[in-house]
Structure 1
C-alpha cells in the first residue's frame, strides 16, 4: 500500500465507523471492501461491498468495530482519503473526501484522476 509509516492510508470518521460496524454486524461480514471501477461521466466510480474475508494484497484498516479493506488496484488512488457517512433529510450515504481527485461529475457519483506518470494514454 502507498502509505506513510505510522499513519493509516485512509481515515474513517466516527459517523462512518458506526455505519460500517452496523452494516458488518447486520450481515455478519468481515468488513467493507472499497475500490474503483471504470464508469460514470467523469471516468471512475467508487465501489463498496460487504465481504466475508479479505483478499490477498488488500490493505485492511481497523477502527473500533469497523473494518475497511482496500482493493489492490485502488490503493494508489485512495491514499489520503477520508471516508465519512452523512445523514440528510433527502439522502444519506458514504462520502469520500479524496485529495487525489482532479475532477468529479455534477452529481458526485464519479471522479477522475490524473494519469499516472509513465502510463500510456490512448487518443
Structure 2
C-alpha cells in the first residue's frame, strides 16, 4: 500500500479488494471454460461496437456507439457506387432480367443483394 506506481495485477487487486468476492484459481487446462466465457463477453461487446479502455485508476470502461445496420450501410453505399447507380438507372428505365430494385430500395442480382465495392464494408461483412 506504500508503493506509488502499481502494475496491472496490483491495480486489479486494488479494485477488487472493495468487493465481497471469492476468486478461485484453476491452473492450466482446468481454466478452459472460464477462458472461453471471458472471450465470449469481449466478443459480444465488440459485436455491439463497444470501445473498451482502462482508466488510470484501473477501472474498465466500455463505451457503446450506435452503428447503422449493415443493410442501411449497403443501401447507402449502393447509392454512392458508380456501377450500382448505373445498374439502378438501367433497371428503372429499361428493365433487366438479372438485376432488380426491390421495394426496400436495395439492388439485387438474381435474388441476391449486391454488395458495393467498399473495403470497410467487405471487412465488416466477413467479420
- Which structure has the highest helix share of the two? 2
TM-score surpassing 0.5?
no
Question: What TM-score, normalized by structure 2, do the two folds share?
Answer: 0.24
**Structure ranking higher in strand proportion:** 1
TM-score (norm 1): 0.24
Larger RCO (CA within 8 A; separation ≥ 6): 1
